[in-house]
Amino acid sequence: MADQPQAKYRADYQAPEYTITDIALDFDLHDTAARIIAVSQVKRLAEQDAALKLDGDALKLVRIEVNGEAWTKYEETPAGLTLTGLPTAFELTIETEVNPEANTLLEGLYKSGGGFCTQCEAEGFRRITYYLDRPDVLARFTTKVTADKANFPFLLSNGNRIAQGDLDNGRHWVQWEDPFPKPSYLFALVAGDFDVLRDKYTTMSGRDVELEIFVDKGNLDRADYAMTSLINSMKWDEERFGLEYDLDIYMIVAVDFFNMGAMENKGLNVFNSKFVLANPQTATDVDYQGIEAVIGHEYFHNWTGNRVTCRDWFQLSLKEGLTVFRDQEFSSDLGSRAVNRINNVRIVRGPQFAEDRGPMSHPIRPEQVIEMNNFYTLTVYEKGSEVIRMMHTLLGEEKFQAGIKLYFERHDGTAATCDDFVQAMEDASGVDLVAFRRWYSQAGTPVVNVATDYDAESKSYRVTVKQATAPTPGQEEKVALHIPLDIELYDSKGNVIELQCNGEAVHHVLDVKQEEQVFEFDNVPEQPVISLLREFSAPVVLEYDYSDDELVFLMVHARNEFARWDAGQMLLAKYIRDNVTNVQNGKAVEFPASVVDAFRGALLADDLDPAFIAEMLTLPSENEVAGWYKCVDVDAINKVVGEIKAILATEMEDELTAIYHSLAQPSYTIEHQAMAKRALRNRCLSYLACTEKGNELVTAQYQVSDNMTDTMAAMAAANNAELACRAEQMKDFSDKWTHDGLVMDKWFALQGSNPADNALANVRETMNHPAFDLKNPNRTRNLVANFCGNNPVRFHAKDGSGYVFLTEILTALNTSNPQVASRLIEPFLKYRQYDEARQVLMRAELEKLAALENLAKDLFEKVEKALAL
């Protein structure tokens, strides 16, 4: 390849040579030709004369002026525009033209449905105008938007509306001013026709804020929960973090074409409609929880991201890890802490650990990047949040909040680094975080191996902890990390044994800092049972040789719910592993009655939250199990997980049936208790679907259901268990919802995860469904990504048909939307974890992709790294 995309390195950071203090934007919107005039106040920061290098991508340059005079000392380069011979401070006027309708990348200014919208993070602003498109250039923005009044009655941008007017040609304009200096990635514009849900919020200092949620016409009855979640977020951030909203208006716009979840543009969030629109007939309980989390996340960014932003994109976790931590705490404070923790840990242990094992493995603060959009990863977000959580564990809530306060005192209104954050935490708390900082630079998952030894005579208990991190691509040498290891000891009756060292009480969070460390506890009256890595106190793989009895004991006696759940998962893991070996040796799956009894006990524990019991009874996904192996046997894993589920269903059929019936509710509400009961009831149904009466029960639930949660639970059960009622339900649902893509996504997801052996043929046929559109990221994710990523047996079909299919899709998306393609390619990146025959097939597909002309840099970066393995 002639001009291969080049990587940028964190170590090469240089402060900008110029800055822009103010920018006045003027948009004249037309579907295929939008004109943008940008008037910037530019100041040279460098001492020496320097060229001004503006970023630009896919722009038509119309005119360029310096201090009102046409400027000729410039050069158009592949990366933008280079201006020379400039004064030290000047006004720069640039006029550009773009084609929003042809913008299928959904980055920059584009059309979604009938309206215009923008997406600028990470580097989309340069697709609107030539600019210093980097997060450490902070300017005050004013934005004037002009468009046809009948088609686009609402013209929105960041900040406060300061002027508006009508033109005589049927067009109108609105002008906005954002008083807070911001980087270009937080710019937003929306123009369209919407229904608006309005409310008000009075902040803790008594300021009134207008709240507005814009949805497609006809969807007003689906916006209430987003509004409730927004108000809850504002209140929570005041109460828990002391942080208050700072503008007079907060707007959220829901759009159908969006590459990710949502975007925190200052005062004007743009959301994937999936995270706004919900009513009981169209959305499941899980959808509601997603709305609460994402509305919270974007709102919390107003402080962690917008008021303090990132110095450069390598620091992305500064805002994302911290904001994920904040949204997780928000959901935990409002709902069930244990269930939230369980679901977050599942993501880290499953897909995040998988990312650590693959060719794209990177630290939460990456060192080198080709395409920034490739680094909005589980590592930066979820592991990044775990790193913040570890600091919270080490400091405690009070000192952590003192650290947050100091961080804002020091950095409000500026662009900061991850080091700045840790420094504030350290300075405010006095806790030594020197070794802890290594979490920011080291990639990969540490393995923590624990051995214990009890000496009955001296009543001492010794815990030996070893840590090691396997090499990752580009990072051969690993160092020991500072790992907070939360433990508890129990006596045989289930009472907590106080941890003592030399007769003094010691804290239950051990500071593991060395490769090997021994912790001695005394006054331990009897051989204890140890609960390790409580609350998943660090993102590590734990190795400890628990007996079945100890795990069953912890499932009942551990004081916190997370530890009980984790014990159950470890018990399941043992039997899944053993049985995969059995199956590979031609033996039958064995699952002893004593283990079934442990789960029966959890099912029947009526003092527990039903939502928590539902989690206790959830088996690890096939993908999570795959992560335990160097060489993955998809068929054996599928067989074992399926058979264990069937054994549990048969052995506990009476109890499952009784609980299923006892949890029926007369009507649908979104309160936690109601959701919790539905979660457990539908978990019971998913087991009962594997029994003889499955078809009858599932059919009955589908028929009487008046809400999407129960409807989808029935359909998912029918789909997974391949019940006779599946076909009719699928037809009925499609007839009812064809007009509504967002609801049809649930149906597409079922087609994608269909276990039937003709699944791929079905998926191909489904792509012709009138509601399907490969250009819509939600449709593509639900059908295609779900098939390739969550249907391992069918995707990894031995004949390679799944692989050929994925390459076809990637080839199409490489030109229309490489950002989505780059998410879809993930299953190929794991090719080294499969048998030789499958490796050869997948590698061949990667090579086909590498040979594509115009391979987008998003895919280039991943394909190249995968092939280098």
- For the annotated catalytic residues, the residue numbers are 298
Whether residue 428 has a cis bond before it, omega within 30° of 0: no
Angle value at C-alpha 123, between 846 and 775, nearest 5 degrees: 55
How crowded is residue 258: how many other Cβ atoms within 10 Å of its Cβ? 23
* CB 305 to ligand B3K: min, Å: 7
Question: Taking CB under 6 A as the rule, which mask of x and - marks residues 353-392 in contact with ligand B3K?
Answer: --------------------x--x----------------
Interface with ligand B3K: number of residues (CB under 6 A):
12
Please pick, from the candidates 297, 311, 326, 838, the single residue that binds ligand B3K as defined by CB under 6 A. 297
581: which residues sit within 8 A by CB, 6+ positions away?
Answer: none
CA distance 672 to 336: 8
Our CA angle for 760, 766, 770, nearest 5°, is: 170
Select from ligand B3K, Zn ion, none the partner in contact with residue 94, using the beta carbon and a kind-dependent cut-off of 5 to 8 Å: none
Residues 189, 171 contacting (CB under 8 angstroms): no
Contact between 718 and ligand B3K per CB under 6 A: no
Picked from ligand B3K, Zn ion, none, the partner binding residue 222 (CB below 5 to 8 A depending on kind) is none
Stretch that binds ligand B3K, among 242-250, 293-301, 487-495, 550-558 (CB under 6 A): 293-301
Tokens of 697: 């029960």
Rounded CA separation 787/171 (Å): 46
The one among 136, 178, 287, 298 contacting ligand B3K by CB under 6 A: 298
Residue closest to 79 by CA, chosen among 61, 101, 57? 57
Q: How far is residue 39's CA from residue 53's CA, in Å, rounded to a whole number?
A: 16
Judged by beta carbon, residue 122 or residue 649, the one nearer ligand B3K is 122
Shortest gap between Cβ of 188 and ligand B3K (angstroms)? 12
Instruction: For residue 304, list its beta bridge partners.
Output: 308
CB of 300 to Zn ion, least distance (A): 8
Closest Cα to residue 352, out of 326, 318, 317, 319? 317
Given ligand B3K, Zn ion, none, residue 615, with its beta carbon under 5 to 8 Å by kind, binds none
The region of 242-250, 294-302, 434-442, 479-487 touching ligand B3K under the rule CB under 6 A is 294-302
CA distance 604 to 238: 40
Complex with ligand B3K: residue 417 or 452, whichever CB lies closer: 417
Which pair of tokens denotes residue 503?
């007769």
Per-residue x/- mask for ligand B3K, residues 237 to 266, rule CB under 6 A? Answer: -----------------------x-xxx--
DSSP string, 386-446: HHHHHHHHHHHHHHHHHHHHHHHHHHTTSEE-HHHHHHHHHHHH----TGGGGGGT--SPE
Q: Which does 742 bind (CB under 5 to 8 A by kind): Zn ion, ligand B3K, none?
A: none
CB under 5 A: which stretch of 319-327, 494-502, 705-713, 798-806 binds Zn ion? Answer: 319-327
Identity of the residue numbered 574: K
CA 413 distance to own-chain centroid = 26
Minimum Å gap between C-beta 239 and ligand B3K is 22
Residue 263 contact, options Zn ion, ligand B3K, none, Cβ 5-8 Å cut-off depending on partner type: ligand B3K
Looking at 216, 237, 320, 710, which residue binds ligand B3K (CB under 6 A)? Answer: 320
Residue 376 binds which entry of ligand B3K, Zn ion, none, with Cβ cut-offs from 5 to 8 Å by kind?
Answer: ligand B3K
The residue (of 237 and 633) whose beta carbon lies closer to ligand B3K is: 237
Select 263 or 744, whichever has its Cβ closest to Zn ion: 263
* CB of 376 vs Zn ion, minimal distance in Å: 8
310 sits near ligand B3K (criterion: CB under 6 A) = no
Q: Which does 609 bind (CB under 5 to 8 A by kind): Zn ion, ligand B3K, none?
A: none
User: Which of 421, 612 has the CB closer to Zn ion?
Assistant: 421
Amino acid making up residue 18 = Y
Return all residues near 556 (Cβ < 8 A) that are at least 6 apart: 494, 564, 601
Half-sphere exposure of 161 (CA within 13 A, CB side): 15
Q: Is 426 in the site for ligand B3K (CB under 6 A)?
A: no
| By the rule CB under 6 A, 57 interacts with ligand B3K | no
CA distance 398 to 240: 11
Residue 121 binding result from ligand B3K, Zn ion, none, given CB thresholds of 5 to 8 Å by partner type: ligand B3K
To the nearest whole angstrom, how small is the minimum distance from the Cβ of residue 196 to Zn ion? Answer: 25
Q: What is the DSSP letter of 367?
A: S
Instruction: Determine the length of the chain.
Output: 869
Q: Which residues of 545-563 are buried (b: 16+ CB within 10 A; e: fewer)?
A: ebeeebbbbbbebbebbbb
Nearer to Zn ion, 92 or 276 (CB): 276
| 327 near ligand B3K, judged by CB under 6 A | no
Q: Which C-beta is closer to Zn ion: that of 323 or that of 361?
A: 323
* H helix or E strand, kind and range, residue 266: none
Residue 69: CB minimum distance to ligand B3K, A: 37
Q: Taking the complex as a whole, how short is the minimal distance between the CB of residue 316 and ligand B3K, in angstroms?
A: 9
Residue 797 identity: A
Q: What is the dihedral of CA 103, 109, 112, 114, to 10 degrees?
A: -110
The option from Zn ion, ligand B3K, none interacting with 260 (CB < 5 to 8 A, set by class) reads ligand B3K
Q: Could you tell me if 452 and 463 are in contact, meaning their C-beta atoms sit under 8 angstroms apart? A: yes
Q: Which is nearer to ligand B3K, 298 or 550 (CB)?
A: 298
Query: Rule CB under 6 A: is residue 123 a binding residue for ligand B3K?
Result: no
Judge contact between 315 and 349, C-beta under 8 A.
no
Minimum distance from CB of 376 to ligand B3K (Å)?
Answer: 5
If one asks whether residue 330 binds ligand B3K (CB under 6 A), the answer comes out as no
Q: Using the rule CB under 6 A, is 400 a contact of ligand B3K?
A: no
Q: How far is the CB of 320 from ligand B3K (least distance, A)?
A: 5
Measured CA to CA, the distance from residue 494 to residue 784 in angstroms comes to 48
123 binds, among ligand B3K, Zn ion, none (CB under 5 to 8 A by kind): none
Helix axes 857-867, 836-850, angle to 10 degrees: 140
Residue 292 interacts with ligand B3K (CB under 6 A)? Answer: no
Q: Look at residues 209, 213, 96 and name the one whose alpha carbon lies nearest to residue 160.
A: 209
The residues that touch ligand B3K, with contacts defined as CB under 6 A, are 121-122, 260, 262-264, 297-298, 301, 320, 373, 376
The residues that touch Zn ion, with contacts defined as CB under 5 A, are 320, 323
